Amino acid sequence: MNGLVLQGGGTVSEMVVKARSFLMLSVVVFLWGSSYTLLKLGLEKMSPINLAFLRFLLALPILAVFAYLKGKKILDSSILQDWKILAVLGLTGVTLYHIFQNVGLRFTTASNSSLIISANPVFIALLAHFYLREKMTWRRVSGIALAFFGIILIIGPLEIAFNPLGTIGDLLSVGAGLSWAIYSVFSKRILSKYGAERVTMFSMIFGALFLFPILLVSEEPALPTSAWIWFLLLILSLLCSGMAYLFWYIALEEVSPTKAGVFLFFLPIVSLSLAHLILSESIDVSFAVGAVFVMLGIVITQRS
């Protein structure tokens, strides 16, 4: 039996699955959107690379347990054959992404960082065209152009002139977006082979391994000294990195990637709202106009 059929053709079980997916994706967007504000607060007391390393060191066990409970063999000979691509994914999607994001947040606002990094679908579209030979339509070109114009407005000539450190932070955020785009494009060729859970887990393992020597050279490894920073770190690792990824993968098994991707359009709204409410970050006219162009460009690029 497929369950009780409701008016409109759906069964009770299908409605429950849709409701659960909606709830999980909403939680994911809230957690990922809030991470910028949480990182900004955490960076007041912790160094950028130390924070990134501890975050993924704590998140790794959650993803490992999830992959194991799904009945997937975590280690096998094929993993050893593909260690180079997994290392590249760890370097780009974890190490470089979080170094650029965390160091950038030292200089720029959470609002600027979140909006610039949220434009990564535009970078992905460009890389997918050159690396995966995906077709570049005029509609996609227009979306990319609008998004880049919005980023230029956000960085702005006034910030370059009067806030050079903020400009450096914004450019580092662009680097984070590019790093995530490289990770996303390169991972497409092995996702079907290993599954998203194992790809993410091994990316985090390699990413943490690359972060550790960089941490030793550039900063002094240290554990948080206050309960407040431990609280922020645990939220970032267990919830924003651990549970959010877990919910994302479960939802992708129940709804199409296109439907799930719609939720990501709300991520900048969450991040900007929290940055304004908690960090008291102001939104000027140039930023607001740039934000509209970026989000419009993302929508057009994603829909083309």
The more confident residue out of 86 and 65 is: 86
Instruction: Let me know: does 51 contact 235? Beta carbons within 8 Å.
Output: no
3-state secondary structure string, the chain?
CCCCECCCCCEHHHHHHHHHHHHHHHHHHHHHHHHHHHHHHHCCCCCHHHHHHHHHHHHHHHHHHHHHHCCCCCCCHHHHHCHHHHHHHHHHHHHHHHHHHHHHHHHCCHHHHHHHHHCHHHHHHHHHHHHCCCCCCHHHHHHHHHHHHHHHHHHCHHHHHHCHHHHHHHHHHHHHHHHHHHHHHHHHHHHHHHCHHHHHHHHHHHHHHHHHHHHHHHCCCCCCCCHHHHHHHHHHHHHHHHHHHHHHHHHHHHCCHHHHHHHHCCHHHHHHHHHHHHCCCCCCHHHHHHHHHHHHHHHHHHHC
CB 37 within 8 A of CB 110: yes
Average pLDDT, the chain: 84
d(CA 26, CA 264): 9
Residue with more model confidence, 204 or 192: 204
Q: Of the given ranges (29-33, 50-54, 134-138), which has the lowest mean pLDDT?
A: 134-138
- The vertex-137 CA angle with 135 and 141, nearest 5°, equals 115
pLDDT for res 3:
52
Q: Per-residue pLDDT averaged across 54-72, rounded?
A: 81
Report whether pLDDT(9) > 60: no
C-alpha atoms less than 13 angstroms from C-alpha of 15 in its C-beta half-sphere: 10
Range of weakest confidence among 101-105, 123-127, 206-210: 123-127
Q: What percent of the chain has pLDDT over 70?
A: 89
- Region 182-199: mean pLDDT is 80
pLDDT in tens, 240-296: 988 888 788 777 767 766 566 677 778 888 998 999 999 998 878 888 888 888 888
Q: Which residue has the higher pLDDT, 207 or 137?
A: 207
pLDDT at 2: 46
Residues 146-183 have pLDDT tens digits of: 888 888 888 877 667 677 888 899 999 999 999 988 88
Taking phi first (over 0 means left), then psi (-120 to 50 degrees means alpha), and beta for anything else, what does residue 9 get? left
Has residue 6 got a pLDDT over 60? no
d(CA 168, CA 132): 31
For the cut 50, the answer to whether the pLDDT of residue 119 exceeds it is: yes
- Prediction pTM value: 0.84
Closest by CA position to 85, among listed 1, 197, 177, 202: 202
The distance of Cα 124 from the centroid of its chain, to the nearest Å, equals: 13
Q: 77 pLDDT exceeds 80?
A: no
Confidence bin at 104 (pLDDT 50/70/90)? very high
Query: Which one has a higher pLDDT value, 218 or 159?
Result: 218
For residue 112, give the amino acid letter.
N
Cα distances from 145 to residues 53, 132, 139, 140, in angstroms, run 35, 20, 10, 9
* pLDDT at position 5 over 60: no
Q: Compute the radius of gyration of the chain from its Cα atoms.
A: 20
Q: What is the pLDDT of residue 39?
A: 94
Q: What is the pLDDT of residue 72?
A: 60
% of residues, the chain, pLDDT over 90: 30
